[in-house]
Amino acid sequence: MYTPAEAVNLWAISYKGLFTGKFPMATSKIRTHYRSCNLCEAICGIEIRLRGDEIISIRGDKKDPFSKGHICPKAVALQDLPG
């Protein structure tokens, strides 16, 4: 049995899939990738969390020696870029 919040999340994923043709599993494993943003000269370290092929969040990498967890709005907007 699902909690009300889990049920809403599952419904939202299924509903989104009707329009995109993608049905990511709500229970699929969350993966974390560490990369560098190259949109400007700062080259911030970023932490990208994924569930399936969907980006869940983009945050600053606290272990990056230069940016130390700080990122600009351009890095956060990477998830809005197509492809």
What is this structure's pTM? Answer: 0.61
Q: Domain map of the chain by residue range?
A: 4-80
Find out whether 53 and 22 touch, Cβ atoms under 8 Å: yes
Q: What is the CATH number of domain 4-80?
A: 2.20.25.90
User: What is the structure's pLDDT at 60?
Assistant: 92
User: What is the structure's pLDDT at 20?
Assistant: 53
Burial per residue of 21-44, b for 16 or more beta-carbon CB atoms within 10 angstroms, e otherwise: eeebeeeeeeeeeeeebeeeebeb
* Mean pLDDT, each 10-residue run in order, the chain (83 residues): 61 52 63 90 90 87 90 84 71
